[in-house]
Amino acid sequence: MDVKAIERLLPWVIQRTLDNPDNPINGFLNVMSGLRAPVEAEYLRLHTYLSPYTTPDDFLPYLARMMNLSRYLADDPPYLMTGLTHLRNLIALSVRLSQQRGTVHALQRFLEVATGIDGFRVEEHMRAFHVRIYAPPGAMAYQELMTRIIEGEKPAYVTFELLEEQPQDDRPADPGASGSN
């Protein structure tokens, strides 16, 4: 707020004395204007703090807590062991994922966004209230994070197994798929 804007807020009795350059109130107005400038500059940048893609790195944990993702964060930077880019993406998708919470699609997408690795697969019909989650090759480096995510995002009554997906050529052959009839 500049000096002229502050002057307009003062009572008329004080405003009429401001024409005198020796008036000490002029000094106070300059100081007030200078003190407000940094606060107003931050206020004009407030919208950048509310977007996960424009907020400063050190503000990301606050956004994550606002989106109820704090249970997946570490205490120290980069906060999500897979990096800040994945945390930004996870915050951006968290509303949509929370609307679909408890579904296979939401769990797969959550794991993919948090780890940055595509190809998670969930089998859910082998026995009642149990799912088997296959992580793509290389994703088991984030096993602790994946376990916390699965425990937090699956329905409470569902049990799970987290397994590493075997590459296609390493899978055992299906015994029922013999070539002879």
For the chain, give the number of residues.
Answer: 181
Nearest-angstrom CA–CA distance, 178 and 156: 40
Q: What is the pTM of this model?
A: 0.71
- pLDDT tens for 12-52 read 888 888 888 788 888 888 888 888 888 888 889 999 999 99
Where in the chain are the domains? 3-44, 48-168
pLDDT, mean of residues 95-116: 94
- pLDDT tens for 116-174 read 999 999 998 878 999 999 999 989 999 999 999 999 999 999 999 999 988 776 555 55
Write down the residue that tokens 């570490």 correspond to. Answer: 74
Complete DSSP assignment for 76-91: STTSSTT-HHHHHHHH
